[in-house]
Each structure stands twice: as structure tokens, then as C-alpha cells.
Amino acid sequence: MKTTTKLLLALTLALALPVRADEVQVAVAANFTAPMQQIAAEFEKDTGHKAILSFGATGKFYSQITNGAPFEVFLAADDETPARLEKEFLIAPRSRFTYAIGKLVLWSADPAVVDGQGEVLKKASFKHLALANPKTAPYGAAAIETLKKLGLHDALQAKFVQGDNISQAHQFAATGNAELGFVALSQVYKDGKITSGSAWIVPGNLYAPIRQDAVVLAQAKDKPAALALADYLKSDKARAVIKAYGYEF
């Protein structure tokens, strides 16, 4: 009797997984690295599908996708790039959706550098300010917009240390190559608090909302693993992870 019960349980679990577990190639904006790694692990446990993740700058991914890179799902750091891909008929119809709204933060690995109002920018007593390339990285563009609204862009421009993407900008600040930098809140935040160093969460009225959209790319419009990942990103489990890293919806 026990053997029969075990066989039935094994059969039930097998049927709960996709008939053909598969891999899906995913291009992910660098700011979303930590949450996506966590979500991908849960996605594989829950569906059997494996997400193969590549991280980088949204603008560079756009160039790669338009030149035939074999990505199947794209999680951008903005909504403009996915919209452009949609106009160019490079995504699956009706697949574009906002998976997160990001936040910009001025951060230093040193707990004593950044004050809670960002006044350190006006004092300009630092040598280097890290930020992502504003031409390819939406968080870099948000940093430039912030500095311009504060009237500090021209005065601080000589201090800029530019990373190819937000991960590199964070690395500059984390290693001390720049005393402080504009990074994504998700890189220094978890479960309601800044995880290290000192930070000023930049008020939302200083830059345009960083609405981050995801799409299933055209070549994967009928691929179960790609469609399953897009659905999974909308699930309560995924949204709990996204929220824990400081994103909004």
C-alpha cells in the first residue's frame, strides 16, 4: 500500500511540472541582477524551466537584439527601449508589461560620506562621482537629470567616473575608486533598509520615473519557457522579491 502511495505521489509531482522543461535566454538590465538571480532560482524550482541570465546595459542589449542576438526575454531598465522594439515588430504581440519601477540612490561604501539630504553634492569635497553611461543606461540618464535639476551638473562634471552600466558604477563606488556614486537602490537595499555604507534616496521629482518593462522577443513568441517566465514575473512570489529590493510597481 505504501509503495502504491509513493508511486502516485511521484506521478502527481511529475505531472505538475512542464511536459518538456526547457531553457530560456534572458537579457536583464544590470540594476535587476540580484532580484532576478533569486527569481530565476525560484522559477526553476516551480516550473522546471531554467532561465539563462545575461546582465548588462539596456542600450547595449537593444543593439545586440536588433543585430540578431539569441535572447528570448528582455528585462529592460526603461520602458522606451521595449516600446521601440515593439514598433520594430521584434517582440511577441501584447507581451510588453512593467515589471518594476526603479529608484535612484546616491551611495557611498563609507558610512560617513553621504548625508540624508544629499548635501554632499553641493559641498563637492570628493574627487570622484560614479554613474552609469547615460547614453546606454537609464539609471545614468536619471543621475544626469538629477544633477541638472539641482543645478550641479556643470560644476561636478569633471568628477564623473562613468561605468558601462549600473553594475560597473556600483563597483566603482563599492571599491572606493569613487568616493560616492549614483546607483540603483536595489543594489544597496534589502528588506526595508540600506545594507551598507551611507545613502540618500533621490526624491522622485528630480528624475523621470524609471519604469522598467519586460518583453518576450518575437523569436520566442511560441516558446513555453519564455511565456512561463513572463507570467512568473507577474506572480505574487516574484513581486515579493522585487519589492524586497526597493522597487515599486
Q: How confident is the model at residue 53 (pLDDT cuts 50, 70, 90)?
A: very high
- Strand bridging mode 97-102 / 73-75: unpaired
Q: d(Cα 169, Cα 57) in Å, to the nearest integer?
A: 11
Q: For the domain with range 16-101+211-244, which CATH number is right: 3.30.390.50, 1.10.730.10, 3.40.190.10, 3.40.50.1010?
A: 3.40.190.10
Phi, psi of 86 (to 5 degrees): -65, -45
The torsion of the CA quartet 117, 207, 174, 123, rounded to 10 degrees, works out to -40
pLDDT, one tens digit per residue, over 98-134 is 999 999 999 999 999 999 999 999 999 999 999 999 9
pTM: 0.87
Q: In this predicted structure, what is the pLDDT of residue 108?
A: 98
Q: Identify the burial level of 11 via C-beta atoms within 10 angstroms of its C-beta, where 0-12 means exposed, 13-18 middle and 19 or more buried.
A: exposed
Q: Are 213 and 69 in contact (CB under 8 A)?
A: no
Q: Quick one: average pLDDT of 52-72?
A: 97
Q: Quickly state the pLDDT bin for 74 (edges 50, 70, 90).
A: very high
**CA angle, 238 then 242 then 245, to 5°:** 145
Provide the 8-state DSSP code for 30: G
Amino acid in position 56: G
DSSP state of 49: -
- How do 129-132 and 160-163 pair as beta strands? parallel
pLDDT digit string, tens, across residues 199-212: 999 999 999 999 99
As annotated, the residues of the chain forming the CATH 3.40.190.10 domain(s) are 16-101+211-244, 102-206
Q: Is the pLDDT of residue 6 over 90?
A: no
Contacts of 217 (CB under 8 A, 6+ apart): 65, 71, 72, 73, 74, 85, 90, 91, 92, 226
| Segment 33-46, tens digit of pLDDT | 999 999 999 999 99
What Cα–Cα distance (Å) separates residue 51 from each residue in 97, 116, 229, 231? 19, 38, 8, 13
Cα–Cα distance measured from residue 139 to residue 160, given in angstroms and rounded to the nearest whole number: 14
Query: Dihedral angle at the C-alpha atoms of 42, 48, 50, 51, nearest 10 degrees?
Result: -50
* DSSP structural state of residue 211: E
- What is the overall mean pLDDT for the chain? 93
Task: For residue 152, report the phi and psi dihedrals to the nearest 5 degrees.
Answer: -115, -5
| CATH 3.40.190.10 for domain 102-206 | yes
As given in the structure block, the three cell numbers for residue 56 are 548588462
Predicted local distance difference test score (pLDDT) of residue 13: 46
Residue 21's pLDDT band, with cuts at 50, 70 and 90, is: confident
Q: 48 or 3, which is more confident? A: 48
DSSP class per residue in 71-104: -SEEE-SSSHHHHHHHHTT-B-TT--EEEEEE-E
